[in-house]
Amino acid sequence: MATRAARGFGQYSGVARAIERVGERWALLIIRDLLVGARRYSDLKAGLPRIPTNILSDRLKELQEAGVIRRVPTVRGGYELTELGRTLEPVIVALERWGWSTLGQPAEGEIVTADAVALSLHAAFHAESAATAPPTEYVLHVGGISLSAMVVGDALDVMPIGPGALLQPMRRTAPEVPPSDVLELEVEPVGLRDLLAGAPGAVAVKGPPAGVSILVGGSALLARFRRTFRIDPVGPSTRTVQEPGAAASVA
């Protein structure tokens, strides 16, 4: 029924309103996938394997009412983010970064999806570090899915590739990257975590971490990857909120 008005938090507050609008179960994962690009109903379902179809249907309706997604008129079952929906990117990125720092081993039956990895790369992307490197293509194979990340200057372009790809848009800019600037990795899910969120000290000092094997390219390219993509362990925002540490501050 998509009736949620009665489930508010009773607060006139930014966080509360945000959660009322996009905090429902599965909603932020749908938004995450749509951040990578427009998707069809079946694409979303495939990227969210455990979502019941009625819930996906409900969420899509609610998110349309909230104004964060809209239908793509010319494509049956196509959905895309609105301008407002795209402004949720900082929220998704913040969650992604925090999630990686607390992400242990994959649980039984957990899978890796192409859109999720694509967004992880965006969340891990350091434009400043990237800008100092020549144009580079990184090809990743993780748990059965494959994607290509093209870095040119401070711009990143990620797309799924191969048979499992949900869609195959034209590469926007396809500058020929010389073979010496192509890195191709076969990565276990846990290896991806170590690669993106692992201890920075280990950058290419002792070769690839466990669960990461280089198919094409050298260790210098791996070091470039780790300079370009990394999720710093602690939220690096400037905090000035009072420290809770002291018990005396309660009472």
Subset of residues 78 to 107 that bind a second copy, contact rule: CB under 8 A: 78, 80-81, 84, 86-103, 106-107
Kindly state the smallest distance separating residue 33's Cβ from DNA, in Å. Answer: 14
SS3 150: strand
Task: Name which of 130, 180, 178, 179 is nearest 158 in CA terms.
Answer: 130
d(CA 177, CA 154): 15
Burial 121-146 (b: 16+ CB within 10 A, else e): bbbbbeeebbeebebbbbbbbbbebb
> Does 41 sit near DNA (CB under 7 A)?
yes
- Residue tagged 């809209």 (tokens): 70
> Does 23 sit near a second copy (CB under 8 A)?
yes
> Does 114 sit near a second copy (CB under 8 A)?
no
> Does 144 sit near a second copy (CB under 8 A)?
no
- In this structure, the strands spanning 39-40 and 78-81 are antiparallel
Joined together, the tokens standing for residue 102 give 């607390």
CB atoms within 10 A of CB 56: 16
Residue ranges in 4-33 that form contacts with DNA under rule CB under 7 A: 4, 6-7, 24-26
The contact pattern for DNA, residues 69-108, with x = CB under 7 A and - = no contact, is -------xxx------------------------------
Please choose which of DNA, a second copy, none residue 210 contacts, taking the beta carbon within 5 to 8 angstroms, the exact cut-off set by kind. Answer: none
> Does 40 sit near a second copy (CB under 8 A)?
yes
Q: Partners of 183 in the beta sheet?
A: 138
Pick from 14, 53, 172, 206 the residue near DNA by CB under 7 A. Answer: 53
> Does 72 sit near a second copy (CB under 8 A)?
yes
CB atoms within 10 A of CB 12: 7
Residues near DNA, by CB under 7 A: 1, 3-4, 6-7, 24-26, 40-43, 50-55, 57-58, 60-61, 76-78
